[in-house]
Homo-oligomer: A and B are copies of this chain.
Amino acid sequence: MNFTAAVIAEFLQGTVEGDPQASVSDVSKIEEGKDGTLSFLSNPKYEKYIYDTQSTIVIVNEDFSPVKEIGATLIRVKNAYESFAALLQFYEQSKPKKIGVSNMASISDTASLGEDLYIGDFTVVSDHVTLGAGVQLYPQVFIGDNVKIGEGTILHPGAKVYEGCEIGAHCVIHAGAIIGGDGFGFAPNQENNYQKVPQVGKVIIEDHVEVGANTTIDRATMGATILRKGVKLDNLIMIAHNVEVGENTVMAAQTGVSGSTRIGKNCMFGGQVGLIGHITIADNVKIAAQSGIPKSIRQEGAIVQGAPAFDFGYYQRCYVVFKNLPSLRNQIIDLERKVSDLSQ
């Protein structure tokens, strides 16, 4: 597909500076710009690249004032980053969607199928499954008995959903994600063997949730493990049984949440964070990457770091002293000598 600067500017309600007929068929980062591509400039750190970029068109903020000549055609808009993201979304939506049901899929007669589905090769749709309109199941997906999936939700290749789980509308579940595996529950007995405690609950994922590749969400022992509306999970995350993650909370890769912990809304967790079980995290809490959370955080908007974690800014100050410990120890030895001298 080709778009001219004039067409793009009209779509974005921006103004063209240069050749309105300049046309692009792809996007690129401004520092890697190529002929025939569209880039954007938002962060001033990248301004240096605009003077030499090979990109044909660059979207810039209204108030951008170049200090040298620019070869590319510019489109001026209110917010270059948001406009570019909107264009990408438009571009994605304009791509032909996968549609149709493969005759190499296995679909139970008892499944209830919405309209305009895509079901890829070697995908399994088990008994009494309900798929909303426009659901896309890529190849090799597994949907267990009695699962419900809301309209417009996409499951990428090889994602697996165990029986009885529920996924809302407009979710994206990436390749290899496992929804509804057994919670990790074993009761020790007298001989120090472990008896499995059956996990008879399920997973409920609300609307507009994204689950990253190879992330695992365990089913509840009883009741449900819940991801609320708008939750975004990166890759290789572990959500244990009976956890609840509040609306629009975002977690970076490789974070793990232990059983029965409740997390508030609009939290942001860095990568490789670990939370123990049976605790509560307030709304808007931010946790720095690699932190360990051993107890509830009740203060809304707290920002914490460390393992175990405490206040972020105070952690930084402690760590500065940690990095000075050898000289601190020498100061103490020196003081002891002086005090000993004084005492004599």
Chain A positions near chain B (C-beta within 8 angstroms): 27-29, 32, 81-82, 85, 88-89, 91-92, 102, 104, 106, 120-122, 124, 138-140, 142, 144, 156-158, 160, 162, 172, 174-176, 178, 181-182, 184, 186-187, 192-198, 200, 208, 210, 212-214, 216, 218, 222-223, 230, 232, 234-236, 238, 240, 248, 250, 252-254, 256, 258, 266, 271-272, 274, 276, 289-290, 292, 307-308, 310, 314, 317-319, 321-326, 328-329, 331-332, 335-336, 338-339, 342-343
Partner of A175, one of B162, B184, B193, B232: B162
Cα(A164)–Cα(B101), bound, Å: 23
> A160 vs B218: C-alpha distance in the bound complex, in angstroms?
19
Tell me the number of copies of this protein: 3
Cβ–Cβ < 8 Å partners of A322 in chain B? 318, 322, 325
Whether B172 and A175, one on each chain, are in contact in the complex, defined by CB atoms closer than 8 angstroms, is no
Closest CB in chain B relative to A311 CB, distance in Å? 10
Chain B residue at smallest Cβ distance from A120: B124
A292→B29 CA distance, assembly (Å):
28
Contacts of A218 in B (CB 8 A): 213, 235
Is B124's CB under 8 angstroms from A124's CB?
no
Is the CB–CB distance between B252 and A253 below 8 Å? no
A108 CB to nearest B CB, Å:
10
Given A178-B175, A192-B266 in contact, is the A292-B289 Cβ separation under 8 Å? Answer: yes
